[in-house]
Structure 1
Amino acid sequence: MICFKYAQITIVFYLDFNYKYLMQKNQKLNKWLWKWHFIAGMVSLPFILILSITGIIYLFKADYEAPKQKDVKEVIVQGTPISLQEQWKIAKTHATKKPNAVIIPTATNQATEFVSGRFGGKSSLYVNPYTGEVSGVITPKDSVMFTVRKLHGELLLGGFGTKIVELIACWMIVLILTGIYVWWPGRGWQLKGFFIPRTGVDKRTFYRDLHSITGFWVSILLMMILAGGLPWTDVFGSNFKTLQKVTNTGYPSTWDARKLQSNTTEAPQDFISLDQMMVKATSLNLSGDVAITFPKGPNGVYSVSNTNPMDLASQKKVHFDAYTGKQLLANHWDDVGILMQGRMWFMAFHQGEFGTWNWVLMLLTSIALTVMSIAAIVSYVLRKKPKKWGVPKVPASFKVGYGIVVLLIILSVVFPLFGGSLIIIIGVEYWRKKRKIASI
């Protein structure tokens, strides 16, 4: 019995000692990382606030635009609708740019949408299927939400702004990694200061806790959001696309139908009608928004595809001979490479498209990012001494370990803009130290 008690005491002492040992941090490394966290925050915070606030606004895009577009998209049901082929002729006559696709209506009171262009140059012309009248044209680039999106993605500065946003996104990764280490409790886990901000000390402590605690609990979500945005940037995104191409992990080559052709050898004089194609498209029972893309040139093919972010695995692209209507090829989501699947998943998550839970999660995360950014600014103002920047000081004896160097090299290779900015900052630091030594 005595031996058992002795063993218990020994185990408890051993675990307690090792727990305290493991919880101890390298204080010099902690100060060095805090310094870089501070520098990254000083540069990034104004832009992070813009990104978080515009992200919150853009989440309400559908709610904002729905009532404004109702008169264009909805019609009064009256009698029998005219053929889709006839509607296409009407759309072609009134559209500024020839339509290249039609969206299959899912309700009897919907106007038929004919799409022209792609991406930023996209516009939609709507035809009343009962009267043949054009109910209106919607051009996304002329909308308020398009401006919000441009502000969110490129700060309204075009390609230059896109690179700034990419650079900020890269430094946000550094902020998250360094912030977790700096925040990690060094004297054990406690309710206050870990789960909730401390309120019984001073204002600066409260705002610092609000910043660090909020940042820690949303860090994984922020990483996922960044993963949804970075593949669409200029430099990293371009490298990502190259990697997809080299590893054959993007869309299959037949996804966009450029390598497919209709059989014109024994073909009739004209394509099959859009009404016949709609019957074929409807028979596929695709979920989400279903589009029929028109043939490009006399050898082109009809393509039927669906967009359904809530269930990416249900997305398909099926190609048909434009003259006979024969199915030529069907691409399923499983045919899409793993990198593209991941890219599309994180983008849909980033935009809150997986349903209400995802939308609410993105809204709360964006609000949390805004709150923690403001809390960081307030904490800095309360800490800052007059006529000083308040940059955390690092002991002169501190030497950066090989592990940190390797990590920085990896981040610089993966994120070239981060690597370039890091070289500039290190160069400025080196010049400042040389100048300081020379002045002594």
Structure 2
Amino acid sequence: MKKNEKLNKWLWKWHFIAGLISLPFILLLSITGGIYLFKTDYEASTQKAIKEVTIQENTIPLQQQWEIANKAAIKKPNAMIISDRKNQATEFVSGRFSGKSSVYIDPYTGKVSGEIVTRNTDMYKIRKLHGELLMGTFGTKIVELIASWMVVLILTGLYVWWPSRGWNLKGFFIPRIKEGKRTFYRDIHAITGFWISGMLILVLAGGFPWTDVFGSNFKTVQKITNTGFPNTWQGIGLQSNSDTKPISLDQMVAKAKALQLPGSVKIHFPKGPKGVFSVSNTNPSDLDTQQKIHFDQYTGKMLLKNNWQDVGILMRGRMWVMAFHQGEFGTWNWILMLCIAILLTIMSTAALVSFLIRKRKGSWGVPKVPHTFNIGYGIVTIIGILAVVFPLFGASVLILLLIELIKKMRKKRKVAFSV
């Protein structure tokens, strides 16, 4: 591919500026993302005293455990996780996401082994630092803006990296180690960026659904196109016939176990006398096996069964990239995400070192673009598409254009006054 050198300099300028502004945030995101990958192992150790119990001969009924949990929990539980190990306390769940709390009942003694409030955990703080910089919705928008510019950094970086005078192994695929520190660190940054660029796009795709503006727009598109969760997934419109006594939780758990669902299985409790029991499983390693099944709370009769194929394609794609982002597809995925977090940290650090070596005193060293360069329609179209897909990026571009316009107006005024 023959490169337009003027375009190359223009893209290099904006890659440089955007990278310099984004660099501290990218380092923070890569480091906190890498730490969060250890959530399961960390919490297994720190929460062991709450989640694990001493195995005894007999267990008390789950219905009785539910009654104990209702009295002990901060909020009345709306679901229960089915235990798959004998030394595991029974987990009763209240709320979702950041509002989630779990009370654990010893199935042998009926004692409360402890309660875990998600927002009070160490890993929740790491996640909030990663997702919103501990600044609430304002921080979420900053992270979304940085993530949007990261897409631009990847695209512009690939163009700048692309050789204009033929291919060479050194400098394009492996770093040059005998041409000075600046060249070495520049190569570390550029070559690492090349090798992980595709994976970074996929990782970013898995993070965008959590954002405010893009995430909200994506949900709107899902709703309009009817490609999200179907109403039946949440059991909307389903009712239990209250003619008899409700079945016990033990009976409901027996029915859930008979389904032999893989992964973590949860029973959602009925909401009121007309509500239904709902059984669902979370199995990120094989999303296609996930189901949501609803039962009459009085007869135990299956009312409706939803398979993963009943979920709209955009929601299925969204859940796939989000699971990939969190390394939930197994050991290979976890290792890959950890490697990407480490390489992104190395790549960003190398860029900073290269900049500091290159920078002259009293100057930021921003690359210069020939005055004769004009942005073509192709670049304008690409920027327009990115601005529509990533609204915060579009807003930032408008601000940059406004700043450039003000600078030009000031220059014209200075020339006019000097004449």
Given the two structures, how large is their TM-score scaled by the length of structure 2? 0.98
Deviates more, 1:410-419 or 1:61-70: 61-70
Name structure 1 gaps, 5 residues minimum. 1-21
CA–CA distance in structure 2, aligned partners of residues 439 and 45 of structure 1: 35
Confirm or deny that 1:439 pairs with 2:414. yes
Q: Given the alignment, which residue of 78, 88, 98 partners 2:56?
A: 78
Q: Given the alignment, which residue of 383, 388, 404 partners 1:408?
A: 383
Aligned-pair distance for 1:383?
1.0
Letter in 1 for 2:171: G
Which residue does 1:5 correspond to in 2? none
Which residue does 2:372 correspond to in 1? 397
Name structure 2 gaps, 5 residues minimum. none
Aligned-pair distance for 1:283?
0.8
Confirm or deny that 1:375 pairs with 2:350. yes
Letter in 1 for 2:240: S
Q: Given the alignment, which residue of 150, 154, 161 partners 1:172?
A: 150
Q: Which secondary structure state, in structure 1, belongs to the residue aligned with residue 288 of structure 2?
A: helix
Which whole-Å deviations, capped at 9, do the CAs of 1:249-302 have from their partners, x for residues lacking one?
A: 1111111123211123xx11x321001101110011100110110000111000
Which whole-Å deviations, capped at 9, do the CAs of 1:356-410 have from their partners, x for residues lacking one?
A: 1100100010111101101111111111111111111110000000000011111
Aligned-pair distance for 1:136?
0.8
Q: Given the alignment, which residue of 85, 93, 97 partners 2:75?
A: 97
Aligned-pair distance for 1:162?
0.4
Q: Which secondary structure state, in structure 2, belongs to the residue aligned with residue 97 of structure 1?
A: coil
CA–CA distance in structure 1, aligned partners of residues 237 and 19 of structure 2: 48
Q: Which secondary structure state, in structure 1, belongs to the residue aligned with residue 113 of structure 2?
A: strand
Question: Highest CA radius of gyration, 1 or 2?
Answer: 1
Which residue does 2:182 correspond to in 1? 204
Confirm or deny that 1:146 pairs with 2:124. yes
Q: Given the alignment, which residue of 135, 150, 158 partners 2:136?
A: 158
Which residue does 1:65 correspond to in 2? 43
Percent identity, please. 67
Aligned-pair distance for 1:437?
3.1
Which residue does 1:245 correspond to in 2? 223
Q: Which secondary structure state, in structure 2, belongs to the residue aligned with residue 98 of structure 1?
A: coil
Q: Given the alignment, which residue of 220, 229, 244 partners 2:207?
A: 229
Q: Which secondary structure state, in structure 2, belongs to the residue aligned with residue 181 of structure 1?
A: helix
* 1:23-422 alignment, distance < 5 Å: 24-264=2-242, 267-268=243-244, 270-422=245-397
Q: Which secondary structure state, in structure 2, belongs to the residue aligned with residue 254 of structure 1?
A: helix
Q: Which secondary structure state, in structure 2, belongs to the residue aligned with residue 382 of structure 1?
A: helix
Given the two structures, how large is their TM-score scaled by the length of structure 1? 0.93
CA–CA distance in structure 2, aligned partners of residues 239 and 290 of structure 1: 31
CA–CA distance in structure 2, aligned partners of residues 157 and 405 of structure 1: 33
Deviates more, 1:252-261 or 1:97-106: 252-261
Letter in 2 for 1:69: Q
CA–CA distance in structure 2, aligned partners of residues 102 and 51 of structure 1: 33
Letter in 2 for 1:316: Q
Which residue does 1:10 correspond to in 2? none
Aligned-pair distance for 1:72?
1.0
Letter in 1 for 2:384: I
Q: Which secondary structure state, in structure 1, belongs to the residue aligned with residue 295 of structure 2?
A: strand
Aligned-pair distance for 1:68?
1.1
Paired residues, number: 415
Aligned-pair distance for 1:438?
2.5
Aligned-pair distance for 1:109?
1.1
Which whole-Å deviations, capped at 9, do the CAs of 1:84-124 have from their partners, x for residues lacking one?
A: 10110111111121010111110111110000111111011
